[in-house]
Each structure stands twice: as C-alpha cells, then as structure tokens.
Amino acid sequence: MSNPAVDLGVVVRSQRIADPGALLPLVPGPDGVAWVHHGDGMVGWGRAAEISVSGADRFAEAQRWWDALTAGAVVRDEVDVPGSGLVAFGSFTFSDRTEATSTLVVPEVVVGRRGDDTWVTVVGSGLAVPPELTEHEVPVQPAPELREGAVDGEAWQHLVADAVARIARGDLDKVVLARDLVATLPTRLDTRAPLTRLAADYPTCWTFQVDGFFGSTPEMLVRLERGLVTSRVLAGTIRRTGDDTHDLALAGSLARSSKDLEEHEYAVRSVAEALAPHCTGMNVPEAPFVLHLPNVMHLATDVTGVVRSDAGALTLTAALHPSAAVGGTPTDAAVALIDEIEGLDRGRYAGPVGWIGARGDGEWGIGLRSAQVGADGTTVRLFAGCGIVADSDPADELAESDAKLIPVRDALTPR
C-alpha cells in the first residue's frame, strides 16, 4: 500500500521555534508518533504519507517507497540537524512470517528538540502555517486487568528447559524466547498516559510510539548521523533490588558472570559481523560495561563505525535484524526454534522501531519493553524476552522476564 503523495510530491518546511517545553504533552491525540530520549527527540501527528509492508521483502519495499517519496519532495529545511526536514517514523515486525504489518509514517506535523535546537516541521501539498503548539491534558487511565498471554509462566519454563537441552546437544548456541501478558481496559487506551510515564521513569531509554506500538527501549539497534554509525548491544541482565550497595555488588557479579558474558559475546559478534560490510572502519570494545536502569542492569557494548556512502539507516537496520540479542546464534537456527516452540506471534515486538531522514540519517531501536494496542483499543499485549544459553535456569529466566515486563505494566497502572 502506498500513498498518492508519492506521485504528487510533498512540500516540507522545517523552521526554528522557541523551546516548547516537554514534547509529549504537545501531541493532541493518542494516535501520534513519538521518539524521545532524555527529553530530546521528536513527536508528530497527522498522516501526510504512509506505507504498510509485510514479508521477507518488507525492508526493501519500504526503502523503495521512501526513496520515491524523498525524490519527489520539495524540502525547505531552515534548521539542518538530524531529524529536521522530511522524516518518517517506522515500526517493523520481528518475523517475515507474522500476520502483522510493518509501517512507515510521515506525520503532517513534527516537533523536535536536539540540544539547543528546537523546530517544527509541516508536511503537505503546499507550504502551510505551523500550528499553534499547546500542552494537552491526558485523561487518567483506569487500571487494566492483567492475564497470562499465549503461554503461561509454568509452560514457558518448560520451553526454556527444552531450549537449554537443544543447546546442550549442539543444535545452536543461544536463542531468545519471548512471552506476553494481556491487559484489558474498560475504555480505549489513550497511549499518551503510559508514554508520559515511561519517558519520566526511564529517561535514558528511547520512548517510542508508532501505529499503536509503544514502549521504552534501552537498546539502540543503529544510529546513523553524518556518516558515523553506532549500535548499542544489550545482552545479560540482572534485576535491581533498590539497595544501592547490594545493586553495586550485583553489577560486579553480572560483569563476571560466565553465562551472561557468553550471551553478550554472541550478541556483540552478530552486530559486528552484520555492520562490517557496510563500514570502512569499526571499533568493537573488548569488554562490556554495566548499564544501570531503574529496574534492571544490563551488560552493554557500543559498537561504532564509519559507514560507506551508499548505506542509509534503513539499509543498516535491515542488515542488523535480527541480531543475536533478540533472535539468537546462529540466526537461522535460533529463528527456526522460535517459530517452532515459542507459541506466540511477536508482531512488532523485538523488531526495529525508530525514524529515518531524507538524507539517510536515522535512529532505530529494538522494540523491547513494549506493547501493542489491539484494534479495539481496549486490549494491550505486553512483551518480554530472555536470552537462553547452556547455563540458563528456567526459574531465573522467568524472573528476568517478569522484571522486563515491569516498565510497561506499571506505565499502564495509574499512580
């Protein structure tokens, strides 16, 4: 599906504005898009152009559509920073075989902040006057009812044990298994409420929303900015206790854990190997650092490189997905095992989510700590996954998945 705007061309104008304050309250309704990190980022609303794609060719099809749209666009960018000018927000499915679709959306209005630069972009068939920006009050959401999703906790532990047995006999090295919870609300969810809470509670994560898929991810799959590429790898997790002294000791044990270091090494290796053909030079740190989040700590590594001139952010995203952090190692064997035993359709969970600019720059995270709003607006599926290796313990993995469900679960619950 494509929008007629591809044929007619769109007119885009970005201009500087006075700092409007917090970005998320500017969105006038629940159907906006968002990409916010430490208060910076972009929000948008309205739909000037969009495409839905599916299947194994979804990234290439979206790229062709984006190339056609940017080629025909008339852009007046008075700001000239990554994120100004013509941008699309996107969310892609984890699997080639899911019934869910992937999407790119060009909003009619985008408001952005990057350091000291703040701007508004208007997209349409002609130059339009930017809208007056006002804060909108978000109604308090009623508490949801939560229930187990496709596979309950006890059955999921058996799946983990099955995966460990297959790893032990040499079928594969690592697999990431996901589980879901289902939240039911008495009225349609206004996603601005959980988004606002996620951005406040997890400012170091990237809080996102595209087409009803929302969350706050700690993992940057790829950032491309003026030829420099960065990919943050997270693999290896431990739950925080809230006691700073105890958590410091736990961070030390995580950094020395052979199980978590093994899981992390697979993830880093898969990212480095995927990026290498697209880069003229790369830096892969020898050891990870411990990333502290409010609810968990992760082993983390930032892989960086200088990208070749013909590689844009969406091309790099397609090359990296699925990494070992969300699929496993070897990739084909891990994805096949996920299809065989996981028992749920991930949809866009663990797929790339983010934005792309007309010059190829962009930021694409992995859709973790996330949820998908159902078509009825009152049903929400929450997702979490864990990396399973030879030393994994099913009970420990269930506890880890519970910890990863906390951000979105709490964000759906009124304070």
Q: Could you give the residue numbers annotated as active site?
A: 174, 219
Burial group, residue 136, by CB count within 10 angstroms (0-12, 13-18, 19+): exposed
CA distance 260 to 303: 18
Helix axes 153-168, 394-411, angle to 10 degrees: 130
Alpha-carbon span 409 to 389, nearest angstrom: 27
Separation CA 23–CA 20 (nearest Å) = 7
| Whole-angstrom distance, CA of residue 413 vs CA of residue 415 | 6
Token digits for 131?
């809208």
Distance of CA 26 to the CA centre of its chain: 22
Tokens representing residue 205 in the block: 């994560």
Question: Which amino acid, 265?
Answer: E
Kindly write down the DSSP assignment for every residue of 44-92, as one continuous string: EES-SEEEEE-STTHHHHHHHHHHHHHHH-EEEESS-SBTBSSEEEEE-
| 177 membership: H or E segment, kind and range | strand 174-184
Determine the Cα–Cα distance for residues 202 and 14; give it in Å rounded to an integer.
29
For residue 289, give the DSSP letter. Answer: E
Residue 300 tokens, joined = 């983390």
Contact 140, 109 (CB under 8 A): no
Residue 184 β-bridge partners: 145, 379
